[in-house]
Structure formats: structure tokens, C-alpha cells
Amino acid sequence: MGGDAFTFELFGLTFNATNVLSGLLVCLLTFFILFGLSRHLQMKPTGGQNVIEWLVEFTNGIVRSQMPAEQVGNYSFLAFVLFVFLFIANQLGLILQVGWNGHELIKSPTADPVVTLTFSLCVITLTHFAGISQKGFKAYFKEYLTPSVLMLPINLVEEFANFLTLGLRIFGNIFAGEMLLKLLAQLAFSHGLPTMIVSLPMEMIWQGFSVFIGSIQAYVFVTLTTVYISRKVTAE
Amino acid sequence: MLVIAESNSLYVGDMLFYLISFILTALLVWHYVWKPVTGMMEKRAKTVAQDIDSAKQARMEATELAAKRKAQLEGSQAEAAQIVDQAKKSAQTQGDQIVAAAQADAQNLKEQAQRDAKQAREDALRGAKDDVANLSIEIASKLIQKQLNADDQKALIDSYIEGLVKHES
């Protein structure tokens, strides 16, 4: 458990092995959990189908509450897969933390700002593309000048702030959660049995709370994504 | 221990890796999960809507049919009443006819019997008259015979026998 991240260079790019491994694991988990839930689809849903249909309804609900009805179909899949991916990524570090040879191998990918900022950058880029394709260049750029030309710097800063806050919010929550778990674990092993007894319930409570935080953060990330997209694609 | 403290360079490789792997996962999920599940949900929604529509249709048809049946029932009741009425009427007429015929028959029979009785009485009276006449004649002849002599008697017997012969032929 714990340890240093180790990096390696490939094609002139810097990779972090921890992130690559964890990310791969999250991708596989996302796909296979969803794949497993969606087998034997029936008219009358049973078991896993109920779960996945509830999940689809849930993310569709997020999109529907933010966007005009004609846009919901375009972004409901993004909301769905983003929510499931981030949810699993958030919970991964709570369930599984693998270290080997002094290096951290598997933890929550979303506890790394590079990963979360990658996602927020992609999302913000997507909102701009969506805005341009929906309204055309002219109307898109005009948005930055409303209500007056003086608002231009503020609007630009807002876009950048959106990008930063979206990524750093989820990173901060998940990172803090994992950090506290690690500190509690260190405390447990620091002075033998007494500290272990004290920190065990705290660890359990914080673990449960982190599960809650991870779910909330995945929900918030998806909600804000749809908010940003809907702001770009609808005329204000 | 702090991962962020370790990184003195930006992991551009990680960013690309996450971008690509997320897109790949999304494509797989789209193809193997999203499309079948939403397709099934849409299909179900359509089926439910159809069921509701067809149920409404069926109920309307049932109501129509019930009204039709009720009307038919009322019609048949009226018809039955009419038939019974007619039967009663025809039975009444038939009964009257039978009674009239029986009365006529009885009258005829009575008249016939009266006529027969009258005839019989007349016949009987006539026969009695003849008998009385014959008897009186015989008595008279017997009375007369006593005063007759033999010749006369002979003549009388002869005449009598002659009469008998005549009567027999």
C-alpha cells in the first residue's frame, strides 16, 4: 500500500505507470461490469437489467434536467459512460491500493490532478465544439461579447476557471479521501494494538464517507458537464 | 508519498492514454451496452403505449357491443311479449270457436232427438190408433158373430179368409 509513483518515457512522452495501470483497470471494470449487467435483455427486466436501466434513467435524468429536450439524446450517452467511469475510478482506490517494490501501482486515477484535468479539458473542449456546431462561429463568438464587449476578459477567465474547477474539484475530494485513509492506516500501525483499535472504526467510517464522496463527485462532474454543454448549445 | 510532489514533468503520455482508453471504452460500451439497453427501453415504452391504446380500443368496442346486446335483448323481450299476446288471442278465438261448434252440435243433437221422439210418439199413436181400430173391429165382429147364422158365418169366414189371403199377398 502506498509508495512512490514511477514514471517512464515512451515515444518522447512521460508516462506514469500507476496511472496507466489504474486507468486500464478502470476501463476494463467499466466495460465488463456494464457488459455483465446488460446480458440477456428482456422485455420484462430482471436482475442486472434493472440495475443498468436504473443507471441509464439516472444519467438521462441528469441530462434532462439541464438541457432542452431536443438535445438530450445527443449527450445522454456521454453522461452515462462518464458517470460510470468516474464512479468506478473514484471507488477503485478505496477498495484496492496496490504497491510493489516501493512503487504505487494501483489507486484511484481520479486522485491524480493530471487525470482529472485531462477529463475536464476534454469536457470543456467538447462544450466549445458543441457550441460551434450548434450555433455556428458567429453566434458562438458573440457569446463572449454579451452583454457587452467589456465582459470579454471575464468570459474568457470563466472558461478557464470552469476547466480548472471541474478537474480540481474531483481531484481534491478523492485525493483528500485517499490521503486520510492512508494517514489513518499509518496511525493504526504506528504504536501497536492501542492505535489499531482506535483507528479501525475511524477508518471504517471514513471509508464509508469516501464511498459517498466518490459517488457525489462523479454525479457533480457529470451534472456540471451537462450544464456547461447546455450553456453552449442553447441561446441565452 | 505525495504523487503530485513526485511529478516534476507533466505526464502528457498519461493524458493521451486516458483520452484514448476512455474513448475506446466508450465505443465498446456504446456498441455492447448502450445501444441494446436503450433499444430495449424504447421498445418497452412503445409496447406499453401500444397496449394502452389497444386496451382503450377494446374497452370502447366492448361498451359498444354491450349496448348492442342490451338493445337486442329489449327487442327480443318485446317480441316474446308480442308472441305470447298473439298466442293468447288465437287460443281465445279457437276456444270460442270450439265452444260455439259444441253448442251448435248440442243444439242439433237436441233438435234431432226431439224430432225423433216426436216421430216415435206419432208412430206409436198411429200404431195404437190402428190397433184400437182393429181391436174394436174384432170385438165388434166377435159380438156380431154370435148373432149370425151358419150361412152368414160361412160367408163371413170366407170373406175373412179372402181378406187374409189378400193381406198375405
Average of pLDDT values for A176-202? 82
Q: Which pLDDT tens digit goes with each residue over B110-152? A: 999 999 999 999 999 888 888 888 888 888 877 776 666 677 7
Q: Of A53-67, A119-133, A182-196, B81-95, which gets the smallest average pLDDT?
A: A182-196
Whether residue A235 has pLDDT greater than 70: no
What is the DSSP secondary structure assignment for residue B32, as one 8-state letter? I
Amino acid at A146: T
Contact between A38 and B36 under an 8 Å Cβ cutoff? The reply is: yes
Q: What is the pLDDT of residue A99?
A: 66
For residue A2, tell me if it sits in a domain. no
pLDDT band at A2 (very low <50, low <70, confident <90, very high): very low
The pLDDT, as a whole number, for residue A4 is 54
Which set of grid coordinates corresponds to residue A177? Answer: 479521501
Residue A141 domain boundaries:
7-233
- Domain range for B132 is 3-168
Q: What is the mean pLDDT of residues A171-189?
A: 85
**Domain tally, chain B:** 1
The secondary structure of residue B29, as a DSSP letter, is: H
The total domain count for chain A is 1
Residue A1 lies in a domain: no
Over residues B35-56, mean pLDDT: 90
DSSP per residue, chain A: ---B--EEEETTEEEEHHHHHHHHHHHHHHHHHHHHHTSS--SS--THHHHHHHHHHHHHHHHHHHS-HHHHHHHHHHHHHHHHHHHHHHHHHHH--EEETTEEEE--GGGSHHHHHHHHHHHHHHHHHHHHHHH-HHHHHHGGG-S-GGGHHHHHHHHHHHHHHHHHHHHHHHHHHHHHHHHHHHHHTTSSHHHHHHHHHHHHHHHHHHHHHHHHHHHHHHHHHHHHHHHHHS--
Q: Determine the residue among B1, B2, B3, B41 to mutate to test chain A binding: the one whose Cβ has the most chain A Cβ atoms within 10 Å.
A: B3
Report if residue A167 sits inside a domain. Answer: yes
* Chain A neighbors of B10, CB-CB under 8 A: 14, 114
Residue with cell 464587449: A149
CA distance A54 to A185: 36
Question: Which of A177-191, B96-110, B147-161 shows the lowest mean pLDDT across its residues?
Answer: B147-161
For residue A77, list chain B residues with Cβ-Cβ distance below 8 A: 26, 30, 34
